[in-house]
């Protein structure tokens, strides 16, 4: 049986806009209410303006009203599977410590968000 969260990430990966790197990534988040939100990477000729799949999924979730998540899946063609970049780790950490799986062609790696970014900048530093 296919995991619906991984299936959503794979569908998003198929919609990726990556004409420059050809590195297609899809991500999906499962909110605490079970709703699934997906995103894909969207490249730009000015590479610094590229949006990663993880951040696109977070934006879709926030726009949909979600603020708390059970888990996330990121799908790429990397072997071993690629972990989120530093910017994405920081954005994911804003929304809690949930399970994150990176899935590649021959397997998956799993972490908690705090394992990927153990000393994240947070709202506590702004208090």
- Which residues are catalytic, by number? 54
Q: Which residues of 63-89 are buried (b: 16+ CB within 10 A; e: fewer)?
A: eeebeebebbbbbbeeeebbbbeeebb
Other CB atoms within 10 A of residue 57 CB: 29
């Amino acid at each position: 049986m296919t995991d619906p969260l991984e299936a959503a990430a794979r569908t998003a990966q198929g919609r990726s806009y990556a004409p420059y790197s050809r590195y297609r990534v899809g991500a999906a988040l499962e909110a605490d209410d079970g709703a699934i939100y997906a995103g894909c990477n969207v490249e730009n000729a000015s590479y610094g303006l590229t949006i990663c799949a993880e951040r696109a999924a977070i934006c879709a979730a926030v726009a949909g009203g979600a603020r708390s998540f059970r888990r996330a899946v990121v799908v790429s063609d990397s072997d071993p599977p690629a972990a989120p970049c530093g910017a994405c780790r920081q954005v994911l950490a804003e929304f809690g410590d949930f399970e994150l799986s990176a899935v590649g062609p021959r397997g998956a790696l799993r972490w908690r968000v705090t394992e990927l970014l153990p000393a994240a900048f947070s709202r506590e530093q702004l208090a």
